[in-house]
Amino acid sequence: MSSSISFILDNHLTTIDFEREKKYAPTTTVLQFLRSLANHKGTKEGCAEGDCGACTIVLASPGNDGRLRYHSLDSCLMFLPMLHGKQVITVENLRAPDGNLHPVQTAMLNAYGSQCGFCTPGVVMSLFALYKNTGRQRADIEEFLTGNLCRCTGYQPILDAAFQICREKTTDHFYVQESAVYQLLSQIKKTNLFIQTDECLYARPVSLQEALRLKHKFPGALIINGATDVALRVTKKFEKLNQIIDLSGIEALKKIKSSADSVIYGAGVSLQDIKSTAGDRFPALQAMLSVFGSLQIRNLATLGGNLATASPIGDSAPVLIAYDAQVVLQSMKRTRSISVTDFITGYRQTAARDDELITAVKIPLPEDHTKVVFYKFSKRKDLDISTVSAGFRLVTDPQGIAREIRLAFGGLAEKTMRAVKTEQALTGKKWTYDTIEKNLSLLTSEFHPISDARASAEGRRLAAGNLLLKFWHETATESEA
C-alpha cells in the first residue's frame, strides 16, 4: 500500500504524498493541480464539466511495444491519483529545448488559428494528440477537435492548421526523448494506492482481487472507473466524497476477449478503445460511440462506468439491450451474469449488490439477418446529451415476418426501458408500414416522459414514434417501401 503517486511533469519525476502534503486531496482534479503551479497556467478552466476542451492535456503511457501512447483528456474530469505512472504534457511543454515552437504551434500561428486565446491551449493540445497519432483524414481531424469549443476564431483556421500538420509531420523533441521517458515511467511501481485523509478515503488497487477485498470491506464506497460522471459532483456540486474505490489502475479490467459467438469487454476498457474495434462486429455500438461525448471524454470513460451510472439518458444502455448484452458482476464469493435490461432497476439504481463490482460486459454476436441500430435524438450532433435515444433489433424471415423485435429507449422514463407491449404487437406480423403505423399509438402510450429543457413530454413521445418509422424505412425491402 502507498499513499503517494508518481508521474512525469516537465521531464522530471514528480511525487505527491497525500498524507504528508495537505495542499492536495485525492479528489483534487488534475486541472486544479496544474493551475496551482506557477508555470502551468496555460491549462484553462472553462466549463469544469468536460464540454469546452479548454483544459485539454495529453497523457503519455507505456505501450507493450516499447513506445508511448498519447491520449488527449479533459483535466477537469480527472482526479489527481489517476496520473500515477503517466507523463503529463501541457501546452507549456510543447516548446522545444532549443526554444523553437512545436510544429503544431507553428501551424496554428501560420493559419491565424487564435483570436481571444482562451480556448487556444486546449485546441493546441488536441492537435498535438492528433500529431502524435496516425489520423490524417478530415474525419480524424474532426474527431480530435470535437471536444474543443472556439467562439472567436471560428473553426476553419484551426482546420487549416490541422491539415498543415498532417501534411508536414516531422520528428519532434518528444520523439527524441521518448525512450528515456519510457524507461523512467517503467521504473514507477504499479502499487496499490490507499490514501486516507481527514475527509476522504481513496483506494486505487492494481488487481481485481484487491478491489473485491476493498469492496467487501467498504460496501458503501463510491466506485469509479473513469469518473467522467462522478467528477461533476466535485467540480459542479462541490460535494465531499468520503470513500472512493478507483478501478482505473486494474489492467485486468482493460482486456477485450473475443470468441466465436461473443465479445467480452472488460469493465475498464475505454469507450474510445471500444469504438476503434467494434465496427466490424457491432456497428450499432460503434455508431453510438461516434456521438458519445468527445475524444477527450471517451479516452477516459469506460463501458462499466457508463452502465453503472444507470442514467435514464445514458447512451450505452439502449444499444446494449438491443444486442442482448450481459453484465458480469463479481464479488469475493461469486460471479454472475445479468442482462442489461434487468441490471438497471430504476433511476440511478442497479441490481448490483453491495459487495459486487462490474467486471465485464458480454455481447453475443448477432446471428445472420439480424439488424441492430442505434439512434440519438439531440439538439446537436456532437457533445450533447440525448433527448431520446434508442437501440432497436429486428430479425425477419424470408416472407418479411418479424420473428424477433426489440425496442429499447432512453429519455422516456426514469430508466432505459423496452417497449414490451409494442414488441409483442409487432412480433409475428408482416414488417410493413401499415403494421408500424397501427402500433405507433401503442408505443407512445407505454411511456410517461417528463418535460424539461431539452424537450416536452409530447415531443419525446413523437420522437420515439418517428425513430420507429425511421427504423422501418431503413430495414424495409424496396417492394415494401
Please report which helix (H) or strand (E) contains residue 124, including its range.
Answer: helix 120-132
What is the structure's pLDDT at 480? 59
Domain boundary among 221, 251, 281: 251
Are 129 and 204 in a shared domain?
A: no
403 and 460 share one domain: yes
153 and 78 within one domain: yes
109 shares its domain with 68: yes
Among 186, 211, 243, the domain-final residue is 186
pLDDT at 478: 46
pLDDT, position 479? 40
- CATH code of the domain containing 205: 3.30.43.10
Q: Which domain holds residue 110?
A: 4-186
Residue 305 maps to a domain: yes
- Cα–Cα distance for residue pair 143/365, rounded to 1 Å: 27
Domain boundary among 152, 186, 220: 186
Q: Using alpha carbons only, what angle is made at residue 226 by residues 225 and 230, rounded to the nearest 5 degrees?
A: 95
Amino acid letter, residue 134: T
Residue 481, domain member (yes or no): no
The CATH number covering residue 170 comes to 3.10.20.30
Cell (9 digits) for 116: 481571444
Q: Which residues of the chain have pLDDT under 70?
A: 477-481
Taken in order 45, 47, 53, 54, the sign of the CA dihedral is negative
Residues 182 and 329 in one domain: no
Structural domain includes residue 454: yes
213 vs 205: CA distance, rounded Å:
10
| Among the listed residues 445, 188, 145, 421, the one whose alpha carbon sits nearest the alpha carbon of residue 295 | 145
Give φ, ψ of 32 to 5 degrees.
-60, -40
Distance, in Å, from the CA atom of 213 to the CA atom of 305, rounded to the nearest integer, reads: 19
Residues 219 and 146 in one domain: no
pTM: 0.95
End-to-end CA distance of the chain: 64
Burial of 388 (0-12, 13-18, 19+ CB in 10 A): buried
Domain-located, residue 480: no
Q: Which residues contact 7 (CB under 8 A, 6 or more apart)?
A: 13, 14, 83, 84, 85, 86, 87, 88, 188
User: Which pLDDT score, from 0 to 100, does residue 1 have?
Assistant: 79
Residue 177 and residue 80 share a domain: yes
d(CA 334, CA 262): 22
Query: Residue 436: how many CA atoms within 13 Å on its side-chain side?
Result: 20
In order, the DSSP letters of 353-402 are -TT-EEEEEEEEPPPTTEEEEEEEE-SSSSS---SEEEEEEEEE-TT-BE
CA-to-CA distance for 104 and 112, rounded, in angstroms? 12
**246 domain-assigned:** yes
C-alpha cell at 130: 492528433
Q: Nearest-CA neighbor of 94 among 124, 130, 135?
A: 124
For residue 152, with 0-12 CB atoms within 10 Å meaning exposed, 13-18 middle and 19 or more buried, which class applies? exposed
Assigned domain for 269 exists: yes
> How many domains, in total, are found in the chain?
3
Enumerate the β-bridge partners of residue 12.
Answer: 9
Grid cell at residue 12: 522530471
Q: Say if 57 falls within a structural domain.
A: yes
Same-domain check for residues 12 and 131: yes
- What type of residue is 32? Q
Which grid coordinates are listed for 173? 523533441
Residues 347 and 272 in one domain: yes
How high is the pLDDT of residue 134? 81
For residues 346 and 224, membership in a common domain is answered with no
Pair 318, 400 in one domain: yes
Task: Read off the CATH number of the domain in which 395 is found.
Answer: 3.30.465.10
3 state SS of 165: helix
Query: Does residue 129 sit in the same domain as residue 271?
Result: no
**Is the residue at 364 inside a domain?**
yes
pLDDT of residue 148: 96
